[in-house]
Structure 1
Amino acid sequence: MIEIKETIAVERSIETVFRVISDFTFIAQWDPGVVSSEKVSDGPVGVGSAFALALRYGIFSMRMVYTIAEYLPPFRVVLKGTGDSFAVTDTIEMAENGPLTTVTYTAAFDLPDMPPHLAPVIRPLLKRIGRTAMAGLKAALSPSSGPPRSVALFSSGIHPVDRVADGLVVPGALGFSKWGHTLAKSFWKPDTELLTGKTVVLTGATSGLGKAAALGLARRDPRLILIARNRQKALETSRELTRATGNENITVAVADLSIMAEIHRVADEILQGTPCIDVLINNAGALFPQRQTTAEGLERTFATNLLGVFTLTRRLLPALCRSKAPRILNVASGGMYTQRIHVGDLEMESAPYDGPTAYAWAKRGLVILTELWAETFRHRPFAVHAMHPGWVDTPGLAASLPRFHKAIRPLLRSPAQGADTLEWLASAVAPGQCSGLFWLDRRPHGTHVFPGTRETEDERRQLLEALTAHENHLRR
């Protein structure tokens, strides 16, 4: 048996510290040796909760399962971990010390196959691993302030390396892949912020990116409102999220977000029961290979991906404005890089219809809207951001672009990898200190790469006028 012990003190409440530490799904945020961690048991975190971890230390990789053996909030949690040839008992105790919370971590390793003469070598290695993990925990729990470093350092908010990579196109596109995500992750600061007491509205949460984002957000303990088209799928998703995270404060609202009348109805329902919204995530979107027209006479790609977002956001603004620090997050697409806005043909009536192009037009418009809204609220603590998830392996991509999906499948990210930045934008401190940016993998990127895609100020004004006119016309 080898035992190591480390103590740190952090300026966070004991309740927050306990919640972050006892839920081992957060451990990858602060322990550099943990590649991933997944809760593999149902229900709220407590005695019996199990977590599957993938670890890597140098050239060595391994998998472990940790199970909570004792759970005494907010003072003590004991987890028992098992690997292929060893076991460990982690005892983590928390105590209030004025404005600080003291965390004492004790790990007792059982290494039955280790020759006794190796103990003097293994002990300092284990102690170093424990010290590194606790240093990471202290950094993760230390209060953070200010915008991301690149935003503070560069007037555009974009790091020169990212600007060059995007401009060279191929390196920028490879950044959309799972390898791009892995590379970016090595530069991230941890995010252990909770959303307790906050209300998050998320559209398109029943599959793919949205479902992965819903799971990550639900773990952070907000009141979560899911807007979906299919009631049965939404209810099933809500139950799955509660089983996985223990968060029982998840509700469902039903609307087809390509139909403006339904958006107004669902907005009325939400506003009636939700006086304050802290985060609105406009994730729902769809690519239609063939031209379709809604019951209101709108081209469906435009209605779903642009006008619907515009209408829902405008309707929920009263509740957002009651939040102390509201955020609007719009999910765009890297495909918009190839297109400019066509304010005179938003529904692609003059040009021959092409599904991917129509989708890119709408997402280009959404990014422009993001910048316009950020400018509107520049004098308030109101963050408005757009992001794109990279190339993500989702049912929507497979159905709408089957050839593209098949061709680049080895490069595709998991939905959880694609959703990470969305979860980070909703919860972390840094993105709340800036506004109007376009994000990939927690880093701001430019919105134009190819010549001829940049819109004029007059086109931006015309876009806003056109969307407002559509909304007013449909409300008559």
Structure 2
Amino acid sequence: MSFFRNAVWFCKGLGEYTQSGYLAAAKHFKPEDLDVNCQGKSYMITGANSGIGKQAALEIAKRGGTIHMVCRNPTAAEEAKTQLMTESKNDDIHVHILDMSEPRDILRFAAEFTQRFSSLNVLVNNAGCMVNTREITEDGLEKNFATNTVGTHMITEALIPALSKAEDPRVIIVSSGGMLTKKLDLSDLQSEKMKPFDGTMVYAQNKRQQIVMAHKYAEKHPKIHFSTMHPGWADTPAVRSSMPEFYEKMKNRLRTVEQGGDTIVWLAVAGDASKEKSGSFFQDRKVTSEHLPLAWTQSKPEEEEQLMGILNDYYQRFSS
């Protein structure tokens, strides 16, 4: 089944996730969707100093939005901020230094942000991690799981009060089409049994977890619009460093960062985006299936509840 899923997924990717796939989809885009004035609205983007996160920040800043860049590296963040301000001619850009693998720091940051700023219109959970060796954080969490799953849950739940005060609040989770190869598996969340450790497979499982998380958030917080999305295969620093072999094979077919970030921007600013069902998975501005045909990757309701129970336990643990 794993071989079948991977083969079907790769064929799908060659047709849809590459630059040619984007160009085909873009023929059906409505340009007026992005003809939006974002002044007076605030947008928080994690991992905003490079790649598609930076590109999304630039496009929203060009439209007048207030940008909150959440980044791990202070130097890279300040350099990106300067570039964004210059290119967008928007000075309302703020840098917040935060490691998304550190739950207590995330909760502390969210509390301070909520006290300082009255509301938040859009949260873009873009920061991701694909570490190809098994690393354990100081809190005893496997690094990929800590960043992609626990970190996303921590910041989303902690910022619900700020989002709830805004008009048309939205939360966007940058997932990955790679999750189509994975069924939710709660038996080894810390990848202790995986021999040998495979960061790509762990990442794909984390991204499947994010799909489930978005469903449950949508149920729990009906006044906030939640979405997950796949940016396609884009030429980003993360792809070059984390997947060098894939990059070398596919570099002539990869999407640009502008193309990869397009649906993030659309989900963040377009009026039509929040009219779609909350919790949906998007690709190239359209709701798309979260499962490959005949791949049997659907999870049981009790499994989804169990995942959220585990994440909520982490939230309570790190809140104390």
TM-score band w.r.t. shorter chain: over 0.9
Provide, for residues 255-282 of structure 1, a one-character-per-residue CA deviation record: whole Å limited to 9, x for no partner: 1010111111211221121121000000
Residue 370 of structure 1 corresponds to which residue in structure 2?
Answer: 214
1:166-205 superposed matches below 5 A: 170-171=11-12, 173-190=14-31, 191=33, 192-205=35-48
Residues 222-249 of structure 1, C-alpha deviations (whole Å, 9 max, x = no match): 1111100011211111111111111111
Query: Given the two structures, how large is their TM-score scaled by the length of structure 2?
Result: 0.93
**Structure 1 counterpart SS, 2:133:** coil
State the match for 2:3 in structure 1. Answer: none
> 1:200·1:224 contact (CA, 8 Å) conserved in 2?
yes
Counterpart residue number, 1:426: 268
RCO greater where, 1 or 2, for CA within 8 Å and sep 6 or more?
2
Aligned to 2:4: none
Q: Secondary structure at the match of 1:411?
A: coil
2:226 is aligned with 1:384: yes
Confirm or deny: 8 A CA contact 1:287 1:359 kept in the other structure: yes
Tell me the residue number matched to 1:160: none
Q: Partner of 1:135 in structure 2?
A: none
In 1: Cα distance, 2:138 partner to 2:298 partner: 33
Residue pair 1:229, 1:254 contacting (<8 A) in 2 also: yes
Match of 2:49 in 1: 206
Matched, 1:417 2:268: no
Structure 1: which 5+ runs fail to align? 1-166
CA contact (8 A) 2:9 2:180 kept: no
* Most deviating of 284-293 and 262-271: 262-271
CA distance in 1, matches of 2:95, 2:112: 11
The alpha-carbon deviation at position 451 of structure 1 amounts to 1.7
Contact 2:53 / 2:126 at 8 angstroms: preserved in 1? yes
Between the aligned partners of 1:376 and 1:198, the Cα distance in structure 2 is 24
- Following superposition, the deviation at residue 334 of structure 1 comes to 0.8
Q: How many residues align?
A: 309
- SS at 1:410's partner residue? coil
Q: Give, in whole Å, the separation in 1 of the partners of 2:271 and 2:249.
A: 38
- Partner residue, 1:466: 310
**What corresponds to 1:318 in structure 2?**
161
8 Å Cα contact 1:383/1:431 also seen in 2: no
Q: Which residue of 2 aligns with 1:145?
A: none
Separation (CA, whole Å) in 1 of partners of 2:216 and 2:59: 28
Question: Cα deviation per residue 1:190-237 (whole Å; 9 max; x = unaligned)?
Answer: 220121110111100111111111111111111111100011211111
Q: Does 1:451 align with 2:295?
A: yes
**Counterpart for residue 398 of structure 1:** 240
Q: Distance in 2 between matches of 1:178 and 1:172?
A: 10
Q: CA deviation at 1:373?
A: 1.1
Which protein has the bigger helix share? 2
Matches within 5 A, 1:199-238: 199-238=42-81
One-letter code aligned to 1:307: V
CA contact (8 A) 2:173 2:228 kept: yes
State how far apart, in whole Å, the 1-side matches of 2:137 and 2:56 are: 28
* SS of corresponding position for 1:263: helix
Where 2:282 maps in the other structure, the secondary structure is strand
Q: What is the TM-score of this pair, normalised by structure 1?
A: 0.63
Alpha carbons of structure 1 residues 344 and 474: separation in structure 2 relative to 1, 3 Å:
farther
Within the candidate set 276, 280, 285, 2:119 is matched to 276
Paired letter, 2:64: D
- Structure 1 position 168, deviation (Å): 8.3
- After TM superposition, give the deviation of residue 351 of structure 1 in Å: 2.7
> In structure 2, the residue corresponding to 1:347 is in which secondary structure?
coil
The answer as to whether partners of 2:144 and 2:202 remain within 8 angstroms in 1 is yes
By how many angstroms is 1:172 displaced? Answer: 5.2
Alignment of 1:290 onto 2:133: yes
Q: Which runs of 4+ in 1 moved over 4 A?
A: none
Query: SS at 2:17's partner residue?
Result: coil
Residues 425-450 of structure 1 deviation map (CA, whole Å, 9 limit, x = unaligned): 00000011121111111111100105
Rg larger in 1 or in 2? 1
Structure 1 residue 289: deviation in Å?
A: 0.7
Listed as ranges, the matches of 1:39-54 within 5 Å are: none
Would the aligned equivalents of 1:298 and 1:347 in 2 still touch at CA under 8 Å?
A: yes
* Change beyond 3 A, Cα 1:348–1:321: same
Unaligned runs of 5+ in 2: 1-7
